[in-house]
Amino acid sequence: MINPLLTELAAYPFTRLEEERRRLLAAGIQVIDFGKGDPNEPTDPMIRNALVEALPERAPYPLAQGLPELRESAAGWIERRFGVSVDPETEIVPTYGSKEAIFSLAQVLETAGRAVAFGEPAYPVYERGALFAGARVQTLPLSRENGFLPDLSELDDDVALVWVNYPHNPTGAVAPREFYDELAEAAERHDFIVGSDEAYTELWFDEPPPSALQAVDRSRILVFQTLSKRSSMTGYRSGFVAGPPEIVAALKSYRPTVGTAPQEFVQRASVAAWNDERHVEETRARYRAKRDVMIPAIEGRGWEIVASDATMYLWSVGPDAAELLEQGIIVSPGEMFGPSGEGYVRFALVPTLEECERAAEILRKT
């Protein structure tokens, strides 16, 4: 009666962490939760006001192509941030956050019976989307030796879709700009589409990371952007896909069937968010302050921090997630993201600065 994939796939990993958190709270243990990557940062008042002002008396069904002003603000942001010009009319479609769009891409492309490839450790949705679309999964191990970049020569011949995600969850690794040209060339040679999940491009601390949109040939590249991390708007559900007109047109015809356009008042708040960089700089400063507290505390315990150049994550070799749990510190065990994550843990810097200071104190004392 029920799709066996739902029972075969283990519980969505973060559901398990949430259960763990509830267990500790019920036992009266104070927890500091570095598990799930849901920002605790406030959404900027300017964005919240834009939402309130846009709330209409009656909210009709939003259209899949989204409001023209949202597509224009996304295209304007791409131009300012990456120096690339995309047509808001034909190359952008708004999405309900980016997760649902990442999940369903394998259904929109011709992937059934072919391979969908991605590096692991990975965000779990590439795999789930591929399996529900009837595709086969090919995982490419990512390791510190290869800079957490996939070996493209390992791709199966029948690969239809390759996911990349830089800055990378969970390792925080950043891909160099040339990587996207290599990927675009491989896509042309082997006839596959690239899905570039760029949820974390704005959480950087040194150099702003590149986008796959900067590849010389972007005719096979689809970029998934979101306001969730950049603007701390996870609950608003707002992002966009930018890509070649024929695939964007396919998304515009697929998406009304599923009903996944963001509410228009959310779209108007999103226009305010894409048009502003001040709040993003403030967000980066808040994460930087947390890094300044947590990095010395983790390294002080003799645990190495690997990659972790961007994103809200610190990827560390050495800590034992179960041991930290007993001290009230929740982290994600690396193997939760795939076998190559074994031996690592991921700290998501989502607790407040005060909580990070408390966690650092605990780490120093033990």
Ligand X SMILES: Cc1ncc(COP(=O)(O)O)c(C=O)c1O
Our finding on whether 332 is near ligand X (CB under 6 A) is: no
User: Taking CB under 6 A as the rule, does residue 211 contact ligand X?
Assistant: no
Interface residue with ligand X, options 17, 34, 35, 37 (CB under 6 A): 37
State the first-to-last Cα distance of the chain, in angstroms, to the nearest integer: 50
Residue 99 interacting with ligand X (CB under 6 A): yes
Residues 6 or more apart whose Cβ sits within 8 Å of residue 224 = 95, 98, 101, 102, 195, 196, 197, 198, 199, 239, 241
Rule CB under 6 A: say whether 171 interacts with ligand X. no
- 45-54 vs 264-274: helix crossing angle, rounded to 10: 150
Give 83's strand partners.
none
If the CB atoms of residues 114 and 346 are measured against ligand X, the closer one turns out to be: 346
- Applying CB under 6 A, does 169 fall inside the site for ligand X? yes
Tokens of 231: 């603007």
**Any idea of the CA torsion for 356, 361, 364, 366, to the nearest 10 degrees?**
-110
Q: Does 111 bind ligand X (CB under 6 A)?
A: no
Question: Which one, 307 or 360, has the nearer CB to ligand X?
Answer: 307
Torsion-angle region of residue 137: left (phi > 0), alpha (psi -120 to 50) or beta? Answer: beta
Which tokens sit at 40?
A: 């605790």
Binding test (CB under 6 A) with ligand X, winner from 171, 228, 232, 316: 228
Minimum distance, C-beta of residue 38 to ligand X, in the bound complex (Å): 7
Q: In the complex with ligand X, which residue's Cβ is closer, 197 or 360?
A: 197
165 touches ligand X (CB under 6 A)? yes
Contact flag: residue 120 with ligand X (CB under 6 A): no
Residue number with CB closer to ligand X (135 or 241): 241
| Nearer residue to ligand X within complex by CB, 99 or 291 | 99
Residues 55-91, buried b or exposed e (16+ Cβ, 10 A)?
eeeeeeebebbbbeebbbbbbebbeebbeeebebeeb
- Pull the structure tokens for residue 286: 């808040």
Among 196, 232, 234, 263, binds ligand X (CB under 6 A): 234
Q: Which residues bind ligand X (CB under 6 A)?
A: 37, 97-99, 102, 123, 165, 169, 197, 199, 226, 228, 234, 239
